[in-house]
């Protein structure tokens, strides 16, 4: 057995990475260029290495090795990022996914990536089904754009099943948690208090709020005009007294020309985590992220007796199904359906 193992190790250009993982790669040179490919099992790697070397010796150029005709996943991913920058209000998530996916697939020939590889990667890399679905959608978009531009012939991501998402648990702040967190923010990051208040009391999405310019804010009419949203439709966001006061106070601290950002950021991919997460930790609030401010907005509306249809409109939900997730928080939900039947006599 020891001798057989030594024989395996002598195969040139074939190696296991990471060690002990059972995943084998090949390393070879063709037309003066170095190439690395993931092959699968050891026997597959040996066979693929021999084929690649035989093709090289016969000077047969494989399609992926033809200069000017190389289409890697990295090329497709770059197209997806450019698409996001042109057509979406914020491309932060797309830039992040591009960076992460390039580590695994960036240098791979796009047509060599299989649905099974994508599915296995999502299972290994993504902690939740929702995250896996977002990455699957991104990969699918990259391939779709590649097909539209005659870069690839098929879209392997379309054959990867969507994960079932469980959205039953909605994390929102209680009034006591909100007051505790706001106290910390005002003490540690007073310049961010307005951003937090506007998020809680308008329910705007992160991309909507942090791409907002002063030209979209009408303090006289008490409304914010969103021209580009996640759903692609423009909408007006009413400003209640808390949000209005927060914006007025914030306006005194920052420049407010029409084209200036209401909440300027240090860079295009920066977000609120650098200050919001430490504030949450100090306030001893767990299981909460910035997007949960939107859940807080909708939950407080439901608990105040606002109808599901009104919540849909105020939050900018595309369908009433999204707003219906907060129905159980309505005061009426404490009365059972059977009891309401009796009281209706």
The CATH number of whichever domain residue 211 belongs to comes to 1.10.443.10
The DSSP 8-state label assigned to residue 64 in this structure reads G
Residue 21 phi, psi dihedral angles, 5° rounding: -85, -20
Q: Encode burial over 21-54: b for 16+ CB neighbours within 10 A, e otherwise.
A: eeebbbbbebeeeebebbbeebeebbebbeebbe
Beta carbons within 8 Å of 59's beta carbon, 6+ residues apart: none
- Is 221 inside a domain boundary? yes
Strand order from edge to edge, sheet including 235-238: 217-218, 223-226, 235-238
Strand order from edge to edge, sheet including 24-30: 14-16, 24-30, 33-40
Query: Distance between CA atoms of 29 and 36, rounded to whole angstroms?
Result: 9
Confidence (pLDDT) at 27: 84
Q: Say if residue 142 is in the same domain as residue 202.
A: no
Q: Say if residue 199 is in the same domain as residue 120.
A: no
In the chain, how many H helices and how many E strands? 15, 6
| pTM of the shown model | 0.59
- Is 217 inside a domain boundary? yes
Confidence (pLDDT) at 60: 44
Q: Say if residue 130 is in the same domain as residue 202.
A: no
Confidence (pLDDT) at 243: 95
Question: Domain boundary residue among 109, 134, 159?
Answer: 159
Q: Say if residue 218 is in the same domain as residue 291.
A: yes
Q: Say if residue 140 is in the same domain as residue 276.
A: no
- The pLDDT averaged over each successive group of 10 residues in the chain (345 residues) is 52 83 81 74 84 65 51 93 78 84 92 94 89 93 93 93 75 94 94 95 90 92 86 84 94 81 68 88 93 94 91 89 82 54 53
Domain range spanning residue 295? 175-334
**Long-range own/partner contacts, residues 260-265 (CB < 8 A, 24 or more apart):** 260/213, 260/214, 261/210, 261/211, 261/212, 261/213, 261/214, 262/209, 262/212, 262/213, 262/214, 262/216, 262/217, 263/194, 263/195, 263/198, 263/209, 263/210, 263/212, 265/210
Query: Distance between CA atoms of 164 and 49, rounded to whole angstroms?
Result: 39
Q: Say if residue 61 is in the same domain as residue 105.
A: no
Residue 32 phi, psi dihedral angles, 5° rounding: 80, 5
Q: Say if residue 87 is in the same domain as residue 190.
A: no
Query: Distance between CA atoms of 188 and 196, rounded to whole angstroms?
Result: 13
For the chain, list the strands marked E by DSSP. 14-16, 24-30, 33-40, 217-218, 223-226, 235-238
Confidence (pLDDT) at 19: 84
Counted domains in the chain:
3
Confidence (pLDDT) at 339: 53
Query: Distance between CA atoms of 62 and 195, rounded to whole angstroms?
Result: 55
Query: Distance between CA atoms of 214 and 223, rounded to whole angstroms?
Result: 11
Confidence (pLDDT) at 52: 77
Q: Say if residue 194 is in the same domain as residue 315.
A: yes
Task: Please give the biggest Cα pair distance in the chain.
Answer: 90
Rg, C-alpha atoms of the chain: 27
Query: Distance between CA atoms of 244 and 239, rounded to whole angstroms?
Result: 6
Place of tokens 């208040």: 197
- For residue 328 the two structure tokens come to 């159980």
Confidence (pLDDT) at 248: 93
- For residue 112 the two structure tokens come to 């060599």
Confidence (pLDDT) at 64: 44
- Is 169 inside a domain boundary? no
Q: Say if residue 228 is in the same domain as residue 310.
A: yes
Confidence (pLDDT) at 100: 92
Question: Domain boundary residue among 49, 65, 81?
Answer: 65
Q: Say if residue 141 is in the same domain as residue 179.
A: no
Half-sphere exposure of 166 (CA within 13 A, CB side): 3
């Amino acid at each position: 057995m020891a001798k057989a193992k030594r024989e395996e190790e002598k195969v040139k250009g074939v190696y296991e990475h990471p060690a002990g993982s059972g995943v084998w790669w090949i390393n070879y040179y063709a037309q003066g260029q170095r190439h690395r490919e993931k092959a699968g099992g050891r026997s597959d790697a040996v066979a693929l290495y021999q084929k690649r070397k035989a093709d090289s010796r016969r000077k047969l150029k494989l399609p992926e090795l033809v200069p000017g005709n190389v289409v890697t996943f990295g090329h497709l991913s770059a197209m997806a990022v450019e698409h996001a920058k042109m057509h979406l209000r914020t491309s932060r998530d797309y830039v992040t996914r591009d960076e992460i996916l390039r580590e695994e697939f960036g240098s791979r020939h796009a047509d060599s990536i299989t649905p099974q590889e994508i599915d296995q990667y999502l299972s290994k890399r993504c902690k939740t089904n929702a995250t896996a679905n977002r990455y699957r959608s991104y990969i699918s978009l990259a391939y779709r754009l590649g097909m539209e531009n005659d870069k690839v012939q098929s879209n392997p991501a379309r054959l990867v099943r969507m994960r079932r998402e469980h959205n039953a648990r909605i994390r929102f702040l209680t009034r006591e948690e909100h007051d505790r967190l706001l106290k910390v923010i005002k003490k540690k990051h007073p310049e961010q208090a307005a951003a937090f208040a506007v998020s809680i009391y308008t329910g705007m999405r992160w991309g909507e709020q942090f791409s907002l310019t002063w030209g979209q804010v009408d303090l006289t009419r008490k409304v914010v005009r969103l021209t580009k949203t996640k759903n692609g439709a423009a909408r007006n966001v009413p400003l209640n007294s808390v949000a209005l006061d927060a914006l007025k106070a914030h306006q005194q601290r920052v420049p407010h020309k029409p084209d200036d950002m209401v909440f300027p950021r240090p860079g295009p991919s920066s977000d609120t985590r650098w200050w919001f997460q430490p504030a949450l930790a100090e306030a001893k609030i767990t299981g909460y992220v910035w997007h949960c401010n939107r859940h807080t907005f909708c939950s407080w509306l439901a608990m105040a007796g606002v109808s599901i249809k009104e919540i849909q409109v105020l939050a900018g939900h595309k369908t009433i199904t999204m707003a219906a997730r907060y129905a159980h928080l309505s005061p009426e939900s404490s009365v059972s359906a059977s009891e309401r039947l009796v009281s209706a006599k």
